[in-house]
Every structure is written in structure tokens, then in C-alpha cells.
Amino acid sequence: MTTKYIATPTRTKEILTKYKFFFKKSLGQNFIIDANVLENIIDRAGIDKQSGVIEIGPGIGALTEQLGIHAKNVLAFEIDQRLFPILEDTLVQYDNIKLIHQDILQADVHASIEDSFSPDQDVHIVANLPYYITTPILTKLLQEKLPVDSITVMIQKEVAERMAAKPSTKSYGSLTIAIQYYTTAQVVMHVPKRVFMPQPNVDSAVLKLTLRDEPPVYVADESYFFSMVQACFSQRRKTLRNNLTSYLKNAYDKETISTMLAEIGIDGMRRGESLTMDEFAKLANSFYQAGRN
């Protein structure tokens, strides 16, 4: 591996020293110092010379640089103004990278995609996300139904496992359903702490989300569906019937809920973690229709 890349311990330290940069804990900044790891992420993401890529939180440009080498063009959103003079220096030789000073949670990503990529181009999101804000960022990106093919992100290992989990496992929960409603989710890499500066306290993994053309189940009302899923997991040790009784106490008593569950072939004594997405859809649609009638 050549030392010219940003993603080496020596080059990273040189850049931080030159700009007197200090890490802000509040922004969850952990920079990657191993270019091989970055190349593996890009390979798993399926990036090639025709790809358009959106990056979130480029930091000092370690992943951005590798994306600039491997993709056709890159659009990077950075919230920390202090990093812009650094990025303009470290990425000076790449004319296919565009930087935007904006919080991704506030950004109009649809408009940015339209401005930055051609209509027939495959667009992917690739990022080393700040761990404290992973779920809000992914939720926004998925709910906005962006015209992207995939989202490949470095996140906390435990959260990646929850997003890619299967029913009847410890990791399976409402977050699993929310992610897998919009995507197929796969943990494609585990990443050791030593490849970060500073080293995080938790283990990391790379999660690849491939966007679905259509959700895998029909739901009558998406927000109602997600609220019912959350209700079923609100206390994991409780049965479906007990969780739903607490959630729907103003509408139904326990016996009515048991009867309604029996009518759709779901045992109220089961726990939320045992239900497939198909069963959650059946449950939500049934209660939604009953509420409208």
C-alpha cells in the first residue's frame, strides 16, 4: 500500500498536525487509517467507474479520496466547517468530487442527486457514519425514497446486526423491520477498532442495504404499520397480547385483542420477536381496518 493515501496513520497525523485539528466528540469523528479497508468497502458496495456516489461525513477525506479514484463522481456532505480547508487541500487533485457544507438530516438529497448525477447513472451512498446518529440518518434516507441503488455504511457492529437480523433472534426488533421493509440488509464486513483514529469504544461492521423496488409486504398504512411493530416490541419479554393491550387500551380490551389475533391466525401468547414481516403486516392491516370500521 502506498503512503500517498490519506488513510495511513502517518499521513493522517501529518494532516491533523498541519491544521491543528482536534476531534469533536459531539460529532462522533473517527477517521479510518487503513486504505485496504476502504478499498474493501468500495468493492463490497459495487462501485465502478460509472457510479455516482454520495458520501456523508468525509472527515479529512480518507474514504472520499478512494471513492474519487474508483467512482465516476462523488458528492460529499460535511457538517463541520473546520474540515473544508483540509478537504480542499487533501482532495485538490480530484476534480470529480464535490463538497457540500450541510447537515445530511437537513439536506434536500433528491435535489442534490438531480444536480450532481446523470439520470441514467447508478447512484450509491457510501459512508463511515457517526455512531450516535446512524439510525436517524438511515431512516431519513429510506423514508425519502431516494433514487439510489444501495447504501453501504460503516456503523456500530451491534446496530448492523440488528438491522440485518432474522426473526426469533436476540437482535431482531422494530429497527430490523423498519430497515428490511425498504431494503435487503447484509453485514458484509467486520472492521477492527485499530483501523480508526481515535479508536472507538465499540466494534464496527459494514452494512450493505440494497433498495427494494417494492416493499416485501402490502400494508394499508405505513405509519400505522410501523407504530404497531414498535408497540409489539415495546417490552420484549411481554406477549403480543399484553403489549398490544397497553398500546391500544383506549380502543380494545384484552379479550377483544385476543379474538382479533386469533381471527388472523396469530397466537397472542407469542412475543414480537417471533413474528415475520408478513405476520406484522397481517396484524397491522387487520387492526387498521377494524379501526376504520
Spans of all domains in the chain: 9-211, 222-292
CA angle 30, 76, 182 (to 5 degrees): 90
- Half-sphere exposure of 1 toward its Cβ, with a 13 Å CA cutoff? 16
204 DSSP β-pair partners? 156, 191
Query: What is the predicted pLDDT for the residue at 238?
Result: 95
Mean pLDDT across the chain, nearest whole number?
94
Nine-digit cell string for 252: 380494545
CATH of region 9-211: 3.40.50.150
- The whole-number average pLDDT for the span 24-51 is 89
Q: Determine the Cα–Cα distance for residues 136 and 105; give it in Å rounded to an integer.
A: 8
Q: Residue ranges for the binding site for S-adenosyl-L-methionine?
A: 30, 32, 57, 78, 103, 128
Q: Residue ranges for the binding site?
A: 30, 32, 57, 78, 103, 128
Q: Determine the Cα–Cα distance for residues 81 and 109; give it in Å rounded to an integer.
A: 19
The CATH architecture to which 222-292 belongs is Orthogonal Bundle (1.10)
How many C-beta neighbours within 10 Å does residue 164 have? 22
- Fold equal for 9-211 and 222-292: no
Q: Is the pLDDT of residue 164 over 60?
A: yes
Q: Is the pLDDT of residue 45 over 80?
A: yes
Instruction: Give the gyration radius of the chain's Cα atoms.
Output: 22
Q: Is the pLDDT of residue 282 over 60?
A: yes
Q: Is the pLDDT of residue 162 over 90?
A: yes
pTM: 0.93
Residue 44 DSSP code:
H
Nine-digit cell string for 275: 413474528
Query: What is the predicted pLDDT for the residue at 23?
Result: 72
